[in-house]
Structure 1
Amino acid sequence: MHERVNSVNKNVCTILVFVISLVFVNDNHLGPAQEFTSALEEFQRVSGLPVTGVFDEATKTAMNKPRCGVPDKEATYSTLIPPTVNVHQNEPNRRRKRHLAGLVSKNRQKREVSETGHMAFSKTLLRWRLMGEGYSSQLTVDEQRYIFRLAFRMWSEVSPLDFVEDTSSPLEDIDIRLGFGTGRHLGCNQRFDGTGREFAHAWFLGDIHFDDDEHFTAPNTGSGISLLKVAVHEIGHVLGLPHIYRPGSIMQPSYLPHEAGFEMDWMDRKAIQHLYGGCKGRFNTVFDWIRKERTAYGEVVIRFNTYFMRDDWYWLYENRNNRTRYGDPVALQVGWRGIPTGGVDAYVHVWSRKRDDVYFFKGTQFWKYNQDQDQAFTQDQEGWRYPRRISEGFPGVPSPIDTAFYDRRESRIYFFKNSLVYGFDVGANSLARGFPKRIRDVFPPVVSGDHPDGNVDAAYFSYTHNAVFLLKGTGFWQVVGSRDRWRRPFLPRNGLLPRKEVDTQWFDICNVHPAALRMNEHSPVHS
């Protein structure tokens, strides 16, 4: 009974401290009852609760949830001291509030944070270190470092930021420092409270501290507090993100148990990109991978996803969710066995009533892909051995090519090279009449001067958008389709609509630092 009373008293004290802090931050010179009600309403608002101003059970439960130690509202020196003095306020109270404001400003000068956060770093390559004096007593050092690498990678997958672990540079060159401690710890002004309330806290100048009294666990290891989930949250604060009051967001202040398939919420992705921008870069190849599946009733259904390839890596784009798959990019050879290393120049899927053939092109050669075995053929059913020379399989097409795509409307493959395009008649197995032609003549600009003018990086037909796209650099042009011409008959056939940036159409296709790309091969954490 005595322990229960102490626990209740501790929670009540925590609640009072929280509400009193809101009163100081939002001091509008109201009476005590009004101040308390105003503070409660503010807490209910940011916690997604009905705003009643009443200290009900739902509010009490929300206040007692384990949570991040970063305040919901940052109190700066200017917000703690009212701009004008209330003449009705007595002198001792004014002095007491000024004294408190002075202590806060001296001990922890925090940056003011807007609702969308602030850009904490002006560079994109950030170095981090797990401090030797701050190891956890519950996990091995290798497990801790692996979990932190994974946490940083999760932010790298959705932003233009790269993170690299640095164990040798001078400490002043390290951007983000992590460590564990209890009570008074690591020279920090804010002490930890033991088990159950505050798991961790982060400062915008790069320090992240974890309470080692908590039971932190590795991913997929049962009960306990997911160190991965807490680390991802605190890294978000160091990068400049405030708390986000949306179910599913990793940046919500209260901790929820680590669920299977944990990944960044849409709001988290948009929030970090609002601060640091989207991910840009050119691609070697883009295509929709088509596969046929039978339902439980024997019906054949067509399913597809879009793949973006860059050098030795690829991203699967989930069109339904309009984002990349969690965990990408993945090594090319992992997903596409037998195709050449170092990236490919083009992908072509000849799909008609009579044919269903997939080809990859690289340099002067091409590979036919066995969709049933999910690997490149070394020899197909007709006896052809692969790789073959492009000039043998596609007479009249020069090599190497820049890119290519199959146009189902005309049963024609368009091969792009420099400023020319080669239309290849699949049925006749030869170049179509009149080809090669200038790309500009076959795919004219809708707006004069707005055209890739050769050296196209990638071309593909999107089943999601029912349109052809040409990509070059960080931009793309959509090819006018029959539906566009029906709406606007003046548009030229196969005309190129004005250029747009790739990251405005396809989100989160982000590079990851090479040190993090192969981290799964050396994982000390076992599922």
Structure 2
Amino acid sequence: MSTMRSAQILASALAEMQNFYGIPVTGVLDEETKAWMKRPRCGVPDQFGVRVKANLRRRKRYTLTGKTWNNRHLTFSIQNYTEKLGWYNSMEAVRRAFLVWEQVTPLVFQEVSYDDIRLRRREEADIMVLFASGFHGDSSPFDGMGGFLAHAYFPGPGLGGDTHFDADEPWTFSSTDLHGSPDGKPQPTQPLPTVRPRRPGRPDHQPPRPPQPPHPGGKPERPPKPGPPPQPRATERPDQYGPNICDGNFDTVAVLRGEMFVFKGRWFWRVRHNRVLDNYPMPIGHFWRGLPGNISAAYERQDGHFVFFKGNRYWLFREANLEPGYPQPLSSYGTDIPYDRIDTAIWWEPTGHTFFFQADRYWRFNEETQRGDPGYPKPISVWQGIPTSPKGAFLSSDAAYTYFYKGTKYWKFNNERLRMEPGHPKSILRDFMGCQEHVEPRPRWPDVARPPFNPNGGAEPEADGDSKEEDVGDKDEGSRVVVQMEEVVRTVNVVMVLVPLLLLLCILGLAFALVQMQRKGAPRMLLYCKRSLQEWV
């Protein structure tokens, strides 16, 4: 009976999905249904808490949330662009998408320069358009290429009305239906693809056709459009929008879900492939709601939870959501661990233990028993070469190395040989953040305070006796340096010429000796001895 009921539920769900996509309703998982299931889609769920019913009557493909705009004149702002299209094509695609919706709704859309919003010359627009990757501050991270392409929010303050696109998708300018429906209006039910980076069946040069009006009636009159707005910039940020990652001295560095997170004050960055992702730094509280700034340590537990430490308290997160009842004091995390603060924490995959570091000591913690192992704490010198009070620790992707961070440097620890790799510490800003570091020249090479060397022996301007003696001494010293370098260079050149000549003469002499021996044959004395020995034998 249960098997039959399960089959009925599956057929009903398939029929509802086929009806939603506008394809033939069969209740069977046929090839056309499989093809539609594999297509990219937007980030809005198909069902909003409504249980799938067995009837196959067509229903409206929109949601009545009770949230609407207070006026018909709406503003939008494009925060950045995707490198897949470039600045012009990204701006043009979004503007054309708003134009399509304006032609079939009683709404008027006006673009606002993001520079004016960023510099606080204007308030945020009603609809903020953003291209982002993964975590981007709204608790709905993107999943990379494929899967979810975009999501939009219903009208309202804050994130209300905003539209976000996954920057990792292979966007092309043929994506004429780039924009979704944050205005709460119904979408057409004909079998058209949802928001997609590539739309088949339409040439790139062909302009988009606006969808048919969902309700009869003409379009109301609207005020004239303003002139073209100035071009927004993609990545520049003024100082009040966060610190510069290349300044270093972070509170902590951690790897969460395989990505590097860098925390400093109330800000954090996401770093991937030796570059900071766009739209960062971001305030910590915009993503991890309830988490304060100036945290001291963070790590990902074996069960996938994120643990953040500050002072004598800790916060436990599941993805971007704070677990109920937190923060809690460190004393509730386990026994035989430091309760005042933790400088660095890391779950060490090679042994399956968690290590806590504080000053010049470290603890090994068992997550299952929630106790520190016997014999700990131990001196941090056991980890040969790492500094005291490290500010961050994370594993390499293959768990073969452990990286420790402090200040602007990092140390690379070999997990198999249990020792520090030679040549460390190195710059974490250059090797992980992609910062360009400038090396200052040595102060006396050249010394700009020293007068230039005068090979012609010209007289210097007259000055007091002490200054004259110093100038002469400096001049003599400069002359000696130049002469010595010229002598060294001349000696090296002579050696480089003589050594090959000597080797060539040796080779020629050896060849001449061999030729002479072949011409004269063996010595007569040897031949005579050979004959006498033969007769004697």
TM-score tier by shorter-chain length is: 0.3 to 0.5
Of structures 1 and 2, the one scoring higher in RCO (CA 8 A, sep 6+) is 1
